[in-house]
Structure formats: structure tokens, C-alpha cells
Amino acid sequence: MAADAEGGLVGWYEDRIGEPETRDEAVGYWVFAVGLVAGAVGILLAVSAGPASTLRELAVVFGAAGIVLLVAGPIVRLPLQRRATLLTYLGVALAAVAILWFIVAFPDNWSVDTGNPSIIGLYGLGIALIAIAGVFIPLLTGGTTSKEATAAAKAETAEASRALVEARAALADATADEADLAAELRSLHDSQAQFETYQDAADEWRWRLHHRNGNVIADGGEGYTQLHNAQKGLQSVRRNALGAPVVQTEREADLPDEGESFDPLPEEPSQATFEVFEDDAGEYRWRLVHDNGNVLADSGEGYVTKHNAERALEGVTATVGPADYLWFDPAGFETYRDTGGQWRWRLVHRNGNVLADGGEGYASHGNARRAVRNLRDRIDELEFDVYEDSAGDHRWRLVAENDEIVADSGEGYSSRDAVEDAVDRVERLVPEADTLEVGMAAFEIYEDESETYRWRLRHRNGNVLADSGEGYADRSNVRDAIESVKRNAPGADVEG
């Protein structure tokens, strides 16, 4: 049973000594400590006290109280049966009554030679009860509690501890899920485009979806006689586009006629299974295996416990379906939210290397995006500072007129030539790099050192949730592999 979470002496015990297993453990310690101090005071007073003086009275009071508390304290701390603890408290109470009686009787009814037999007898009875509680009851009744009761108590404590750990983990997961949901909802509103309604040359009303880079992403395809009808068509697109499946049709002639109704596509069952296993190093991993035996995805890293691997797997199944592709051609800016809740940006090459980052976090997504736009627009005006750090590595940083560091290399280079090549690469790639918005997670397609294409699923906090495990000869194969994972992972069973 955990100790009561209360202030006072028990709270001091927790702060200065440690968390007691029972409340009696803390109380017994303080009873013993007070008894030790009282006994020491009684001895000091007795040294200088006269036979019938007030000091002698105080010496007897402190000494008698000290003896009782010194004996009772350790017994109270022991995990005795409850009746033994109560008998100890009764013995202390009788001894306390005897001490009070002594205060009243001294010195007139107290003999210097023989004392007062009644007071001494009552005090002795109190000490005897404490001795019976601490020694004879455990011996006569088989110790503190039975082995079965002790085992049950330990099992109950262990179960309570496990429940507490699981409750804390669930609370942390719920908090993280709430933050993810809030960020996902924000991302749905942080569009990089706008709907526009206008009148064409034939005086018909139309709408189009216009990206901020100038491209027209979509349009209504037909004109409307009234603005209200164009707005209704626009609202229908906004309402139905999110979550709509993609149906691939080979030829335009095979498309269904406009106005022809259709049934929603049935949800296809998964043709793959998640396997959780222990590798040769004793770490737990997962992989997504197709029914044909091909490994579609794996965890990329090992986990200390099977529970951690399964939790990571749950994160993948929750994010893999809606995750977008990030194409780096040849580089692009990622804006993402780190584990501390701040928004950051980084410039990523298609080979997967991070070429630059902002070096600092921003309170809002908009501030991180503005920082990217400022860098892209002003790259020619800013000054690159190449320097050697304390570890002997060469780095660069981009400094504004107010001496503010706008960007840095994020990593060190072995030589000055290497870091200057990196600067040239950043100067060349920044102006044309698109800003790629990372929702909850996104697939990154990149070229590895062996010039094969791979994918990895990266959470917006920067963690890699899953990877392809193998390389592909061209990008189209990687795209097909991602689609297979997106199609099979959400509904796949878990084995292991």
C-alpha cells in the first residue's frame, strides 16, 4: 500500500529520505527520532540536576519519554499485523499516562530512594505491552502476515504499479493524439491556394482554384448563368474533395458520362500482414509482409520492448493512409512541428540529405513559412559565413543585416572545400525549391548513395516511422510501392 500523499512529517520523510511503503514506516521513523532527542535531553538535564529540583523532574520526564519512543519507533515501522501496531500505541499511551502522573506526583509523592511503585508499575506495563507487540505477537502468530497474504499484497502492489504506468502512458498518448488532431485540423485550413469566382468573356460565372505560385489547380469546367450557382458548385467541391478516392481510368472515352451516378468503391481487404519479431540483437521490430511474401515496409530501427514496437506500428497505421508524397526535384523545403511543439523548416535534397535548416523554432506554422519565403526571396542579399567550429568541423551560417542567423548548415564538413561546395549548392537550389507542407506524416522519395530510389514515412516531428527497406530502379516503382503500403497497411492484421 502506497504511503498517503500528505504534508507534515510524512511529507518531510518522502522529501528527505524516500517514499515509504506504508504510512507507519514514516511515522515510526519520526517517533524514533523524537525519542532519541528526548533521551539525549533527559541525560543532559540529569547531569546537572539536584535530587528534588525542577531540572530533575524534567530529566525524568524527557528520559522516560525518550525510552518509550526509542522502543516504539522501530516497532511501528515494522510491517506487523495491525493488532500488534495498535498494542504498541496502547503501550505508549499507558507510559504517557505514567509520565503525566509523575509530573503531578513529583516531588511530594515521589521518593528519592524508591520512587512511586504505582507510577513505575504503570510505566512498566506500557513498556511491557510494547515489547509484547514487537516480539511475542510476531513469534506466537507466525510473523507479520502469512506468506499468502504477503504474496497477495506484493502482487496487488505490482498490479497497481503496472496500472499506474499504463494510465500514464495512455494519458501521454491521449495528449499526443490530441495535439496531432489539433495540428491536422489546422493544416486543413492552412491552404496554399484560394478559390476565385469570376465572369468570363461570355458573361458566364466560373470558379477556379488558384495556387499562390500562379498555377490554376482546378476549375469548374463549365460556366453558370448566375454567381449563386457557381458558388454552389465551388462549395460542392470543397465539401466532397477531401477524402475522395482516386480512380484511374486508362482512356478518356472510358470515363462515365456526366450526371451518371455511381456507387462508392468498396473497401478492399488488406493483402498483407504486420509481423512483430525479435531480431538477433534482442530488439523488437516490425515489417509489413504481402501475401506473396514480399516485404512492403519495415520499422527501420529496433525497439527495446515489444510494447514499444507495437505502439510504433499503431502510429504507422494511423498516418500511412492520408500521408502525401514529398517529391524533391532536386530539393524542397519541409516545414514541420518538432517534439517541443515549435515549427521548423529544413531544406532536403532528393538524396535524403538535409542541406540547411532554420536553426530555431517558431511559435506558429505561418512564421516558419514566412521564414522560408524570406530566405527564398533574399538569398542573394544575405551573406554566408563559413567558419570552423570547436570540434574542427567546417560549417556555414547565413547572416542577415541585423546579425540574425537566418539559416545554418546543421552539420559539420570535414574540409573548407566541402562546406563551400555546400554553400554553392544551397545558393543554387533555394530560389527554385518548393515548400512542402508536412501534415501528420508524409512519404519522402529520395535517391540513396547507390543511386537507387527509396521511400520513408516521416512524422512531422522529424522521426522516421517506416522505410522501404530496399531500393528501386526508378521512381515509378517507388510510387507503386508506396501505393501498395497505403492500400494494405491500415487494415492489416498484426502477428507476433
Q: How far apart are CA 479 and CA 324, in angstroms?
A: 11
Query: CA nearest 35: which of 113, 116, 99, 117?
Result: 99
Of the pLDDT bands very low, low, confident and very high (cuts 50, 70, 90), residue 216 is: confident
Q: Please give the C-alpha separations between residue 469 and each of 129, 351, 354, 455, in angstroms, as whole numbers.
A: 74, 15, 20, 8
Find the length of the chain: 496
Give the neighbor-by-neighbor strand order of the sheet with 394-399.
383-388, 394-399, 405-408, 354-357, 343-349, 331-337, 434-437
Of 88-92, 133-137, 347-351, which has the strongest mean pLDDT? 88-92
CA 252 remoteness from chain centre: 50
Number of other CB atoms surrounding residue 463 within 10 Å: 14
Contact call for residues 52 and 107 (beta carbons, < 8 A): yes
State which amino acid sits at residue 55: L
* Range of weakest confidence among 71-85, 130-144, 208-222, 429-443: 130-144
DSSP per-residue letters across 90-143: HHHHHHHHHHHHHHHHTTTT-BTTTB-HHHHHHHHHHHHHHHIIIIIHHHHTTS
Given a cut of 60, whether residue 189 has pLDDT beyond it is: no
Query: CA nearest 344: which of 353, 352, 356?
Result: 356
Query: Up-side HSE of residue 60: CA atoms within 13 Å toward CB?
Result: 25
State the distance between the two ends of the chain, measured CA to CA, in whole angstroms.
36
Rounded average pLDDT over 184-201: 69
Which residues are paired to 275 by β-bridges? Answer: 287, 495
Given a cut of 70, whether residue 180 has pLDDT beyond it is: no
What share of the chain in percent tops pLDDT 90? 4
Phi-psi region of 376 (alpha: psi -120 to 50; beta: other; left: phi over 0): alpha
Given a cut of 60, whether residue 146 has pLDDT beyond it is: no
Query: CA nearest 332: which of 318, 315, 320, 349?
Result: 349
Query: CA nearest 205: which of 178, 181, 223, 184?
Result: 223
Q: How far apart are CA 38 and CA 65, in angstroms?
A: 7
Cα-Cα-Cα-Cα dihedral sign, residues 304, 305, 308, 310? positive
Instruction: Summarize pLDDT for 399-439 with one digit per residue, the tens.
Output: 877 777 888 888 888 899 998 998 998 898 888 887 766 66
Of the pLDDT bands very low, low, confident and very high (cuts 50, 70, 90), residue 4 is: very low
Of the pLDDT bands very low, low, confident and very high (cuts 50, 70, 90), residue 394 is: very high
Q: How far apart are CA 491 and CA 487, in angstroms?
A: 8
Contact call for residues 222 and 200 (beta carbons, < 8 A): no
Q: Where are the alpha helices (DSSP H) in 379-493?
A: 416-429, 475-488
Contact call for residues 379 and 427 (beta carbons, < 8 A): yes
Which residues are paired to 443 by β-bridges? Answer: 325, 457
pTM, whole model, 2 decimals?
A: 0.39
